[in-house]
Amino acid sequence: MTSGARPVDPAVTDDSVGMSYLNRTPQRLLTVYLPLAVFVFVLLFPFYWMTITALKPNAELNNFRDYNPFWPSSPTLENIRYLLFETSYPGWLVNTMVVAVGSTFLSLAASVFAAYAIERIRFPGSRWTGLGIFLAYLVPPSILFIPLAVMIFKFGIYDSKLALIFTYPTFLIPFCTWLLMGYFRSIPYELEECALVDGASRWQILTRIMLPLAVPGLISAGIFAFTLSWNEFIYALTFIQSSENKTVPVGMLTELVRGDVYEWGALMAGALLGSLPVVLLYSFFVDYYVSSMTGAVKE
């Protein structure tokens, strides 16, 4: 008997090159670095423009003939000083933080119970309930604020931070519930079944098994809820009247824009400082955020 390699059928040979074409510099430059550079530029240019506008004196803001529009000739901190010491911006920043943290906490607490009940208990009509909760997220806030205003006035919390803390969950809970439903679905059912056999209650399963495993999902939902609360404008404009109770988005628009006069230096400084808490939040929890998007728990 003769031995040797089996002949290879030309019809089944694999001629694919995979990602080997990226080994050549021109292809790598065209397909990787150039799109990445365009994406980074589009993403970061608004922050760069806010920064240089906040550092420009008033004489350079509109005079592009004598000054470079893309770089401040005489950088100054006057706009930031004016924003922090001659306006109510520090109070607006504190109000926004209190409202965002309070509404995020309430929304996460309600969303955890709703998502766990829909995904793990599977009561009759649970799927339709989950669909209804998600569809509630699609209702425009411009429609909801009219009936909510009536309730706010009846409860006597108009022009207070409680008005925003209690109304923001109306659009945060549906989204957080939908996000946590998908994450709870990825946790193996065998863990819950073993705990039930050992005599654990539903509360013990939720607090000692589900929540520790769902930390990335909770952080991701919390980041989304905090960001939406931080940037919300319609409810804050409708339910808050006094300057000392305003949030950053509303305060900057109503206090730093006087008719057709825009204080661009202070506006850009406020927008830049107002984005820093969200940037820091994402930077600290980016690993949890990515793992929740890709599914950290696998069966």
CATH number at residue 260: 1.10.3720.10
- pLDDT tens digits, 175-210: 899 888 888 888 888 888 888 888 888 888 888 888
Residue range of the domain that includes 164: 88-294
Dist CA 276 CA 298 (whole Å): 34
Whether 65 is in a domain gets the answer: yes
Ranges of H-type helices in the chain: 25-28, 34-55, 58-61, 78-85, 89-116, 126-137, 141-155, 161-167, 169-186, 189-197, 202-205, 211-213, 215-231, 234-239, 248-255, 264-284, 286-294
Residue 51 shares a structural domain with residue 167: no
pLDDT of residue 126: 77
Q: Could you tell me which of 15, 6, 44 has the C-alpha nearest to residue 272?
A: 44
pLDDT of residue 117: 87
Whether 299 is in a domain gets the answer: no
pLDDT of residue 299: 40
Phi, psi (5° rounding) for residue 262? -110, 120
pLDDT of residue 294: 53
Residue 277 shares a structural domain with residue 139: yes
Three-state DSSP class for residue 160: coil
pLDDT of residue 292: 55
Dist CA 292 CA 134 (whole Å): 19
Running along the chain, 299 residues long, what does each successive block of 10 average in pLDDT?
52 53 69 85 89 87 81 86 89 94 94 88 80 81 84 90 92 89 84 86 87 86 90 90 90 82 86 86 72 48
pLDDT of residue 135: 82
Whether 99 is in a domain gets the answer: yes
pLDDT of residue 9: 54
Contact 225, 108 (CB under 8 A): yes
Alpha-carbon dihedral angle through residues 291, 293, 296, 298, given to the nearest 10 degrees: -160
Cα 36 to Cα 31, 283, 293: the distances in Å are 9, 20, 21
